[in-house]
Amino acid sequence: MLSSMRTQVGIIGAGPAGLLLSHLLHLRGISSVVLERRSRDYVERRVRAGVLEQGTVDTLVESGVGERLLREGLVHDGIELRYGGAGHRVAFEKLVPGRAITVYGQQEVVRDLIAARLAAGGDIRFEVDDVAVHSLEDAPYVTFGGERLDCDFIAGCDGFHGVSRPSVPEGVITVYEREYPFAWLGILARVAPSAEELIYARTGRGFALHSMRSPEISRFYLQVPAGQDLDEWPDERIWAELKARLETVPGFTLATGEIIEKGITPLRSFVAEPMRHGRLFLAGDAAHIVPPTGAKGLNLAVADVRVLTEALTRFYADGSAALLDDYSDICLKRVWRAQHFSWWMTTLLHTFDSDDAYGRRLQTSYLDYVTSSDAAATTLAENYVGMPYEVSP
């Protein structure tokens, strides 16, 4: 016999999407329970994206969880595109005045949200097992670890490999996806950043990205072949390759230090639509994945949650389901814009085939256009800092 409890919104997944949704709903007086199969320590230490759009920063600050973000986040008013032996700055302050990006690790966002929810008495269940969703069309409930959670709605915020999306009946969801013939080798290093802003470097050896997490911690990425074994990349080789791809402009020297974390991530584009079935709503990576080149993953999750929060607020305020019915269409409009931008940045900066001289010349031509035309640079800048929200809670 299952022990039973009830809430208004059952949330599966304690990543940024699930935690932010629970927090925003709490501010609207809507109850929720968050279920997470991993431990709190794992969730808070999991290193992911670290570039926050202007709208993401505004959302966190306006909802009361931005104090540490404002204190410790690194505000950037531009990025550098480095290719052909020169660096070219895309100046956000000129092209999109008043909008910037903030470097602040996803795990820090998660820590802030967990602290806020627990301080407010929020119900987050870590290390739950055997999670399953049921009766999605009319009276949804979630079972887990010998318990049953009845709810009005279920939010599937449990990522690409979670249980939410596969619970939708076959044939309801259409999947669009693309896999890339390379991966990113990412490292965290205990060394001060060698530049004040992110550097996106395109070279004949492959792509490299210089980023940072704090004034003392740097983040780097290298394009490597898909399926590459991490054992093939000892620290010495990683630093040598980063130097070869980043020390391509006069006067730039890459500082090196202790590598404290490294891993290889395959690149893929993925969209599942619609993002709703019955009373199950998918958000974040459960519904869409983008290659990290455009820094959109976490930011798309925040955008989804904003729409879902407003839709649920209206439903509980006056019974209107209109925005719930429009949830998927509204979110997918932004998702596909981000899909295109992320694909464009990826194809612009990565090496696809060492023998494709024609493709390399096309890349150079478009990079020349972006770095010489304010119109082209503005397109990159406004997508990078984040398009305006269509629905605002």
pLDDT-derived band at 47, boundaries 50, 70, 90: confident
pTM (2 decimals)? 0.95
Could you tell me whether strands 3-6 and 147-150 are parallel, antiparallel, or unpaired per DSSP bridges?
A: parallel
Inside any domain, residue 37: yes
Catalytic member of 288, 292, 327, 393: 292
CATH number, domain at 47? 3.50.50.60
166 is catalytic: no
Domain that holds residue 277: 3-75+102-176+268-351
Nearest to 335 by CA among 375, 287, 369, 374: 287
296 is catalytic: yes
Catalytic member of 296, 327, 350, 393: 296
Residue with the two structure tokens 């990205």: 209
Write the single-letter amino acid at 67.
E
Beta carbons within 8 Å of 258's beta carbon, 6+ residues apart? 189, 190, 191
pLDDT, average across residues 225-245: 97
Tell me the two tokens of residue 72.
């410790």
β-sheet with 74-76: strand ranges across: 51-52, 101-103, 74-76
141 is catalytic: no
Which tens digit of pLDDT belongs to each residue from 363-393?
Answer: 999 999 999 999 999 999 999 999 999 765 5
Which tens digit of pLDDT belongs to each residue from 174-185?
Answer: 999 999 999 999
Catalytic member of 83, 141, 180, 200: 200
Which tens digit of pLDDT belongs to each residue from 127-181?
Answer: 999 999 999 999 999 999 999 999 999 999 999 999 999 999 999 999 999 999 9
pLDDT-derived band at 212, boundaries 50, 70, 90: very high
Question: 31 phi and psi, to 5 degrees?
Answer: -85, 155
Q: How far apart are CA 62 and CA 305, in angstroms?
A: 14
pLDDT of 391: 64
pLDDT of 392: 55
Neighbours of 230 (CB within 10 A): 11
Inside any domain, residue 21: yes
Inside any domain, residue 26: yes
Which tens digit of pLDDT belongs to each residue from 277-289?
Answer: 999 999 999 999 9
Catalytic member of 23, 76, 88, 350: 76
DSSP-derived 3-state class of residue 87: strand
Q: Go through 98-123 and write b for each residue having 16 or more CB atoms within 10 A of its CB, e for each that does not.
A: ebbbbbbbbbbbbbbbbebbeeeebb
β-partners of residue 3 are: 147
Beta carbons within 8 Å of 214's beta carbon, 6+ residues apart? 72, 74
Inside any domain, residue 184: no
Determine the angle formed by the axes of helices 16-27 and 106-119, rounding to 10 degrees.
40
140 is catalytic: no
| Cβ contact 72:215 at 8 Å | no
β-sheet with 153-156: strand ranges across: 123-125, 32-35, 9-12, 153-156, 280-282, 276-277
pLDDT-derived band at 2, boundaries 50, 70, 90: confident
Please report, rounded to a whole number, the percentage of residues in the chain having pLDDT higher than 70. Answer: 99
Q: How far apart are CA 136 and CA 245, in angstroms?
A: 50
Q: Where are the beta strands (DSSP E) in 197-247?
A: 199-203, 206-212, 218-225
Q: How far apart are CA 309 and CA 137, in angstroms?
A: 20
384 is catalytic: yes
HSE-CB for 359 with a 13 A CA cutoff: 11
Inside any domain, residue 256: no
Inside any domain, residue 283: yes
Which tens digit of pLDDT belongs to each residue from 53-103?
Answer: 999 999 999 999 999 999 999 999 999 999 999 999 999 999 999 999 999
Give how many domains the chain has, as a whole number.
Answer: 1
Inside any domain, residue 97: no
Inside any domain, residue 380: no
Residue 163 DSSP symbol: S
